[in-house]
Structure 1
Amino acid sequence: MKIVYSPCPNDTFIFHALVHGLVPGAPKFDVTYADIDITNKLAVEANGPDIMKISYAALPWISSDYTLLPCGGALGRGCGPLVLTNGSEGSISGKKVAVPSERSTAYLLFRLWAAQNVPGGVGEIIVMPFHEIMPAVRDGLVDAGLVIHEARFTYQNYGLTMLTDLGNWWEEDTNLPIPLGAIIARRSLDLEKVADWIRQSVEYAWANPDVSRDYIMCHAQELSPEVAQAHIDLYVNEFSAHLGDDGYAAVFALLSRAAKEGLVPEMDLEKLRY
Structure 2
Amino acid sequence: MIGALLLAVAAPSAGAVPPPLDYARLVDEAIDGGRIIQADAMLSQWRAGAQSGDLQAIEIADARMALEKRRDEEALARFTALERSGLNNCRVDEGRGIALLRLGRSQEALEPLRLAVADCDGRWRSWNALGVAYDQAQSWALSNAAYERAFQLTDKPSQVLNNYGLSLLKQGKAEKAAVIFDKARESAPDDARVIANGDTAYVMAGQDISRRPADTADEWARRLNNAGQVAMRMGDLPKAQAYLSRAVTEADSFVPEAAAALDTLKTTEK
User: Which structure: greater strand fraction?
Assistant: 1
User: Which structure: greater helix fraction?
Assistant: 2
More relative contact order, 1 or 2 (CA 8 Å, 6+ apart): 1
* TM-score, normalised via structure 1 length: 0.21
Structure (1 or 2) with the larger CA radius of gyration: 2
* TM-score, normalised via structure 2 length: 0.22
